[in-house]
Structure 1
Amino acid sequence: MSNPPPPQPSTLHHQVPYITTPTTLTTTNREYRKGNWTIQETLILITAKRLDDERRIKPSTSSHSRPGELKWKWVENYCWDHGCYRNQNQCNDKWDNLLREYKKVRQYQSSQSESSDHFPSYWSMERHQRKLHNLPTNMSPEVFKALNDVLQRKNNIHQQQQQEQQPQQQQQQSTSSIHQQQLKQPSISQPTDQLAVGTDQQPPEIEAPITVSEESDSSETESSENLDSETKRKKVRKIGSSIMRSASVLAQTLKSCEEKKEKRHQEVMKLEQRRLQIEETRNEVNQKGITDLVAAMTNLSGAIQSLIANHYDQT
């Protein structure tokens, strides 16, 4: 994976002291800042998260390791002491977003370095190009480098702890196996001793208990393997049954949605048909009214003309 380019010189250089003790300032009258995070605030958050992880890993009997302590409250107090006025929920959400963006950029850079095709580096792309590749548009080299250092350090510490725990686990396993063999030794050798006392002809065999213990160990191993395989099969069956139930519930839900959709469509069609009938009836009524009005006007005109004609005849 190609490294990010060196960050541009700016006035947002963040230099914080290395502390491992939580602050005791009160949080009752704090006014938290909202809106977008600046690069300086993001770097303060990353430093706080690194220090919080390190203080939790180190064994200590001081008060900061009490079980009731809120994890992100310590991060909030550190950020507040160093000029990042955000609450613990904002710090938690921002950290989750940073991890998602870091993984996307790291995966793209890895595929870009391994692929034979020419892909532009993330650090050389414009905002619209990053958006086309479904990548974060505003990841800065400073933030990426700080996140990479924190995660690499955490991974190295985790591997070191695993390496330190392996000899202890092996010693515990060997101790438990020896203890099991010692518990099985008297119960297996007892019939042989009784046989020797009853016959007084053959000495007790020493090799028999070891052979039987080895067979018992192998049988226990086989039984444990069978138990593990049976447990795995049960888990697979449970997962399969849960998938089948989920699929049936999903199918029923889709069917119900389709039925409701069809019912709504039929209701809409009925309403549309009724509206057309009402419109047609109204048009017929209007047309009939106009026809009756024309006929009335014609009759009135004929009556007036006949009245005028009668008047002229009388004169």
Structure 2
Amino acid sequence: MDLSKGNIEGGTDNIVPMMRDHRKGNWTLQETMVLIEAKKMDDERRMKRLWGDGGERGKPTEPRWKWVEDYCWNSGCLRSQSQCNDKWDNLMRDFKRVREYEIRRLAEKDEEKKYYSYWGMEKNQRKENNLPPNMLSQTYDALVEVVERKCPTAAAAAAVMSGGGGGAGGSSALMLLTFPSSQTLPSVDSDTSEYSDSPAKRKKTRSTLEEVSCAISKSATMIAEAIQACEEREEKRHKKVVSLHETRLRIEESKVETNRQSINGLVDAINKLANSILALAANSHHKNQPNTSK
């Protein structure tokens, strides 16, 4: 049981305090999809606040997972902010492993080793490849949309890697990505075109494109790791806030229980005192009856 704020519709306006009895147990697919949609909406809300769009900048800040809980609650997903936070951490951990596997599979499709798609594997094959046992394609696609909205440059790099890393796609990705200052990319001379008749020039061009693809892959990995580290730090802060909130609720409940017991004790004492006074009055009345008859 949690003391939370009620209805939201596109935000947290017109909130009404209410007691929430959160659902326990495994998450259903519908609940998971609602959580992903809530996280996507929250990211958009935070970006608007960051850039000051739509008058969001002047509004007071609100804990991320509290907003997500309110959105989920009003969409039929009766989970607490702590449950939403933990579920999202698990989703992103599994998503990252599947995503990295799929990118690696597409990048190495021409190698001798044969890679199967995650969704074409049996459970034992997924376990052998250190992959989550039961991520649904519907969940994965929804998470891809959320991640690509937050990091379009990493998504572009992943698309280039899945296409082999060459051609016009490679050039467009290079325009999007920001490479480390210590890392320089090899240039492709116009005389070493892939259409040149010289085998040596074709080999040099192929080697250059492989180096470009490798550089893109490394940069995309660095971006993804930086975003993940930032997310983890933020999640830790939110967990601390949630923990403090729960501790405060427990203290308030303890105070209420203590007051209730004190009032009950006071009522019992008053009742005993009243019974004693009535008994004393009755005894005094009986003692005075013979004197009255005389």
> Which has the higher Rg, Structure 1 or Structure 2?
1
TM-score range (shorter-chain normalised) is 0.3 to 0.5
Report the TM-score when normalising by structure 2.
0.44
TM-score, length basis structure 1: 0.41
